[in-house]
Structure 1
Amino acid sequence: MSDPGPAPAGRWADLRTRILSAIVMLAVGAVEIWLGGTAFAALVIGLTSVMVWELATMTAPGGRKAPVTIAVTAGAALMLAMVLRSDIAVLFLMVPTLVLILTPRRDRRLSGAYALAIMLAGYGLVELRQTGGDRAILWLVAVVIVSDVLGYFVGRLVGGPKFWPALSPKKTWSGTVAGWIGAALVGLVLVLAVGTSWLIVPVSALVALAGQMGDIAESWVKRRAGVKDASDLIPGHGGVLDRFDALIGAVVFVLLLGLFAPVTRLFGG
């Protein structure tokens, strides 16, 4: 969700719809995280497939069958990667990237790179739920949501200089920094409440930054494609990519961080 900067009162007209949609998504997400296992993996595979469909549709408008085929392929590839859970899984995660690069569309390399980020995020979410449990996945989601919400409201209320106007003209420094602070506070709450490592405070802020970069990356893709929203599937939010763009950036960052020190160690794992 982009930080839209200051706006007149009329721009708050969609707030009720956004909140209602967010409540439904949070309720579904909470149940799936609690269930874990196959139920959570199925949700992630479904969302990943839809996001790949949105990406394929944005970058090659006019076609109907091709984006659906690519989305189904992405879902199947992600499922195989989850079943294998080995080094070869990465090859399956790259399948949608290869398809997007080899089919006619705008910005093939950009589309392919973003498709890989989507697939990595899907795989990483399930892996984090399995290895870190409820606490780790709830921490990640809380960091992204708090950063996103604070960035949205502080950006609208305070405004100020733009963070990266060339790629995301509505995102402000005030909203961006508010997101970092909010994420760090999420980490601090965990330290005080459940005794996690103090390192989770700066790591939470870095995860928020990665989420904001995910938001900007999706804005870049949409600007290149000449569209406002990835789709209109979620009332008040646009598409699934518009809602989960920050989570993509955050999960990819956690995966990269895991190459050096698994994030689950912050929780005693």
Structure 2
Amino acid sequence: MAANWDDLKVRLMSGAWMAVLGIGAIIIGGVWFQMLAIFVTAVMVWECWIMIRGASPTSGMLLAAAVASILSAQVLGGAHNYEFIGLFLVVPIIGAAVLKRERMTFFIFALGVQIAGYGLVHFRIDFGFTWLIWLVSIVVVTDIVGYFAGKSIGGPKFWPAISPKKTWSGTIGGWIGAAIVGIIFFTFTNAGWTIILLSIVISFAGQMGDIAESALKRRQGVKDSSTLIPGHGGLLDRFDALLGASLFMLLVASLFDVSGVAF
């Protein structure tokens, strides 16, 4: 039984440092949060590249630098440069052209990561501190409650062919945790009751982001996207759920009039 928890201490320590850095950047906002989002986005695209291409430091770093440059042009200063949104296609197209395999896989992941990173920056600019904290809280609580529920209860696997460790108990536990986050924000903000349902759906979207990254790792035969974070693997391992949640929230906010949230 102890073996089930042997990674908990390292995970908690790494998670605590990331939480301090992330929450601090969200609170400060402005260029500090934008720079953090740009850095994390660029590194995640690099991790996608090295998982598919293998050890290729020069080409991977060049692609990461290109991502950082493009995203910087899009978000620094807080302007909505929608006319340049097509620039997000540059790195996916170049990477797909260079690769000899998994071209569409890299294209989809690199494009999705960039759009999600861009979306998180503008959540902070357009929606404000509270809404970004809500989104991040859903992802964090889903992960924490899901982890403990899955380890404690166990039971049937959610999608064993792709993510052998994930259980239905952990998945549903994550939804319950997200619902509690929604209830808290419904109680203490001007959000309508739909925030509770939306929190659960975003929790599921985050879980699907995690599943998508698990599928990529399984397809490439790797355990982690990189070894940058002790106990967590790479940045893509840690932020895959936030990417899924961000992409889904961008879609929802662009299609529907969500109480308290509007583009």
- TM-score interval w.r.t. the shorter chain? over 0.9
Letter in 2 for 1:23: A
Contact 1:168 1:220 in 2 (8 A): yes
Determine which structure has greater relative contact order: mean sequence separation of CA pairs < 8 Å that are 6+ residues apart, divided by chain length: 1
User: CA-to-partner distance for each residue in 1:159-201, whole Å, 9 max, x for gaps?
Assistant: 1111111211211111111111110110101111223211100
Other-structure match for 1:239: 234
> Does the residue aligned with 1:196 lie in a helix, a strand or coil?
coil
The answer on 1:40 being equivalent to 2:33 is: yes
Letter in 1 for 2:148: F
Aligned 1:136-175 pairs, distance under 5 A: 136-175=131-170
Residue ranges of structure 2 left out of the alignment (5+ in a row): none
Contact 2:145 2:177 in 1 (8 A): yes
Q: Which of 187, 201, 205 lines up with 1:192 in the alignment?
A: 187
> Does the residue aligned with 2:165 lie in a helix, a strand or coil?
strand
Deviating above 4 A after TM superposition, structure 1's stretches of 4 or more consecutive aligned residues are: none
Cα deviation for residue 90 of structure 1 reads: 2.2
RMSD of Structure 2 on Structure 1 (CA):
1.5
1:125/1:81 CA distance change after superposition, 3 Å: same
TM, length-normalised to structure 2? 0.95
Residue ranges of structure 1 left out of the alignment (5+ in a row): 1-7
Other-structure match for 1:206: 201
Partners of 1:62 and 1:47 lie apart in 2 by: 20
The answer on 1:21 being equivalent to 2:14 is: yes
Cα deviation for residue 259 of structure 1 reads: 1.7
User: CA-to-partner distance for each residue in 1:65-106, whole Å, 9 max, x for gaps?
Assistant: 011111111111111222562432321222221122111243
- Between 1:189-198 and 1:213-222, the stretch displaced more is 189-198
Q: Which of 70, 75, 80 lines up with 2:68 in the alignment?
A: 75
Letter in 2 for 1:236: G
Partners of 1:99 and 1:120 lie apart in 2 by: 17
> Does the residue aligned with 1:174 lie in a helix, a strand or coil?
helix
Letter in 1 for 2:228: L
> Does the residue aligned with 2:158 lie in a helix, a strand or coil?
strand
- Between 1:165-174 and 1:97-106, the stretch displaced more is 97-106
Partners of 1:262 and 1:212 lie apart in 2 by: 24
The answer on 1:50 being equivalent to 2:43 is: yes
Partners of 2:19 and 2:99 lie apart in 1 by: 37
Letter in 2 for 1:53: W
Letter in 2 for 1:58: M
Letter in 1 for 2:161: A
Cα deviation for residue 268 of structure 1 reads: 8.7
Contact 1:167 1:216 in 2 (8 A): yes
Other-structure match for 1:94: 89
User: CA-to-partner distance for each residue in 1:224-265, whole Å, 9 max, x for gaps?
Assistant: 1110000110011000000000000000001111221255x3
Other-structure match for 2:247: 252
- Between 1:161-170 and 1:47-56, the stretch displaced more is 161-170
Work out the number of aligned pairs and report it: 261
